[in-house]
Amino acid sequence: MKAAIIAGPGQGPVYGDLPAPTPGNGECRIAVTAAAISPVVKSRASGRHYSSSGRFPFVVGIDGVGRRDDGSRVYFALPRAPYGSMAEHSVVRAAQCLLVPDGLDDVTAAAIANPGVSSWAALTERARFKAGETVLVNGATGTAGRLAVQIAKYLGAGKVIATGRDIEALKSVAALGADVTIPLIADGDALEEAFKEQFALGVDVVIDYLWGASAERLLIAAAKAGKDAVPIRFVQIGSVSGAEIT
Ligand SMILES: NC(=O)c1ccc[n+]([C@@H]2O[C@H](COP(=O)([O-])OP(=O)(O)OC[C@H]3O[C@@H](n4cnc5c(N)ncnc54)[C@H](OP(=O)(O)O)[C@@H]3O)[C@@H](O)[C@H]2O)c1
């Protein structure tokens, strides 16, 4: 079969041939129709991601959409190594397949699952979010952040605050449902003041895709202006703007 194969450390994916996978007990073979290129896929392909196995060759891609042998259309995640989703066929445990509803096309289903689940799981599982609460999405202009704003609204958020460094992109996030937008301006003190204003009014959950300088200012503002005895659930998901805070 044809696949996007990484042959060795430091090499990019190459369109090549690999024997098609044979499903074992409890596994499904997938005829792939769409595969996602998310940050984790790029990071694993480059060998930098903490979950990279370090074993070669392997097929790029951790999730996608396709047809099982029985014809059912599924979203699948985490194929058995060395197989991946960027190939004609993949193989995955049956429990890691979800039926895709009619009306949702293959490409959209493949593309939204990973970024969408990041905030869905953060809100429902980690933060135990309740309808009516206020959610702040730090880094709301990317794929995952835009979905986080919409998912928070869908789950009944009373107020969603969105941050981003691109003013035009922030306007489009407001159009998606963000009630308040905070531009991530270079002046850290002014940014801290903007955060403090919101924490004084009350913030229940922070979904953070950025870490780095903005998360640092946000945490300081929460400590200074957050209401006494009201716990703020901070869920860090990404570190796009920096791996460290001081
Ligand atoms: N743990 C999980 O399950 C999970 C799942 C999904 C995503 N994630 C992580 O979440 C993060 C976002 O993913 P994504 O799919 O939304 O990526 P994306 O679509 O590429 O979006 C990245 C966003 O980060 C912004 N950004 C980049 N550098 C920045 C900086 N220095 N300061 C402020 N903003 C900056 C970009 O803004 P501009 O538009 O201005 O460039 C863009 O809005 C990644 O770290 C990803 O690995 C984790």
Tens of pLDDT, residues 85-137:
999 999 999 999 999 999 999 999 999 999 999 999 999 999 999 999 999 99
Domain of 42 in residue numbering reads as 2-104
Give the domain CATH number at 196: 3.40.50.720
pLDDT in tens, 167-202: 999 999 999 999 999 999 889 999 999 999 999 999
Task: Judge if 157 and 91 occupy the same domain.
Answer: no
What domain count does the chain have? 2
Question: Domain for residue 121, yes or no?
Answer: yes
Q: Give the domain-ending residue among 81, 104, 127.
A: 104
Return the pLDDT at 223: 95
CA angle 126, 130, 133 (to 5 degrees): 105
- Report residue 9's pLDDT band, with 50, 70 and 90 as the boundaries: confident
Return the pLDDT at 230: 80
Return the pLDDT at 157: 98
pLDDT beyond 90 at 49? no
CB-based contact 122:40 (threshold 8 Å) = no
Residue of the CA atom closest to atom 27 of ligand 1: 240
> Of all residues in the chain, what percent carry a pLDDT higher than 90?
88
CB within 6 Å of ligand 1 — which residues? Answer: 38-40, 114-115, 118, 139, 141-145, 164-166, 169, 184, 209-210, 237-241
Q: Give the domain-ending residue among 104, 126, 156.
A: 104
CB-based contact 4:84 (threshold 8 Å) = yes
Longest dimension (CA), the chain: 61
Residue of the CA atom closest to atom 42 of ligand 1: 142
Alpha carbon distance 116, 165 (integer Å): 21
Q: Give the domain-ending residue among 84, 104, 124.
A: 104
Alpha carbon distance 169, 146 (integer Å): 10
